[in-house]
Amino acid sequence: MKVGVLASGTGTNLQAILDRVHGREGVDVVAVASDQPSAKALKRARSAGVPTAVFAQNEYAARADRDRAMAEWLAERGVELVVLAGYMRLLSPEFLERFPQRVINVHPALLPAFPGLDAVDQALAYGVKVFGATIHFVDEGVDSGAIIFQRGVELADATSADEVMAAIRPIEHELLCRAILAISRGAVSGDPDHPRRVVVRDRA
């Protein structure tokens, strides 16, 4: 399965994918794109020999134009699964139609709680005691797609986003890689009786 990764920042989730999934069980990362020319994720991809591209919003008249160009670039490389690994832009409906049920995202909260930007800060402000990470399919909403994996961690005394992320990041890495492998094995499907429920038959 050919994987394309979109990332806006440092690319720690991308690095986990490159280290744990890339080149294994028929999974290959064949493209990494970013909306930020200076994103460290691009450097990580180039170090691994993965083709990269930048699709900065200010180079396009509209979001749809940017997403159309990005989708075309990914499709040209045969991408079968698009992974949002810290990609900080919403994707257009047209982009999602190019990869139906083939776009997944990692989110640093236990959805449906605290969607959108600054999820950890939202959770801290709310005073929660359990934080976590979610891997989900991407739909046209904001972090509203069907959930593939989730895991929480109790941090009753956490006071800073850095502290929370230090605990969540390993969970993100593990669950994201697990989801990619499960999808590649054909082990992830919908439940016809429950439209929002995702069934994962692979427990590896």
Question: Catalytic site residues?
Answer: 107
Contact residues for 96 (Cβ-Cβ < 8 A; gap 6+): 103, 138, 139, 140
β-strands 194-200, 188-191 pairing: antiparallel
With H, G, I as helix, E, B as strand and everything else as coil, classify residue 175: helix
Sign, CA dihedral 16-20-25-28, equals positive
Q: How many CB atoms are located within 10 Å of the residue 17 CB?
A: 25
